[in-house]
Amino acid sequence: MSVVATVRLPSVLRPDAGGAAELEVSGATLGAVLDEIGMRFPALERRLRDESGALRRYVNFYVDGEECRRLGGTAAALGPGAEVMVIPSVAGG
């Protein structure tokens, strides 16, 4: 079953998504949503996943408020109207 999820992007990633703050994307899992994003916005996908398709270490994904790695990573199931928030880690010194 494929559901439509809203993917919310921070301002630093919006240029790679045509300036969009949020995307409506179909997919039953986080991985399927990221696959569709990759087809629509290849530059954005490169910022979210590495060459092997694994989630980038310093990018956090929250599915309905839960950190996705606790929900199975890219296998995290999405329910109807799911919200996926993408939050890159910020480092400084």
User: Both tokens of residue 92?
Assistant: 């400084």
Question: What's the predicted TM-score (pTM) here?
Answer: 0.90
Q: Band of the pLDDT at 73, cuts 50, 70, 90?
A: very high
Question: Is residue 93, in this structure, part of any structural domain at all?
Answer: no
Question: Is residue 29, in this structure, part of any structural domain at all?
Answer: yes
- Domains held by the chain: number: 1
Q: How far apart are CA 2 and CA 15, in angstroms?
A: 27
Domain that holds residue 23: 4-88
Q: How far apart are CA 31 and CA 78, in angstroms?
A: 10
How many CB atoms are located within 10 Å of the residue 71 CB? 18
Q: For the chain, what is the radius of gyration of the CA atoms?
A: 12
Question: Is residue 45, in this structure, part of any structural domain at all?
Answer: yes
pLDDT, average across residues 3-31: 95
Mean pLDDT of the chain: 93
Output the domain CATH number for residue 21.
3.10.20.30
List, for residues 28-38, the tens digit of each pLDDT value.
999 999 999 99
* Cα–Cα nearest to 67, from 49, 55, 81, 50: 55
Over 90: is that where the pLDDT of 46 sits? yes
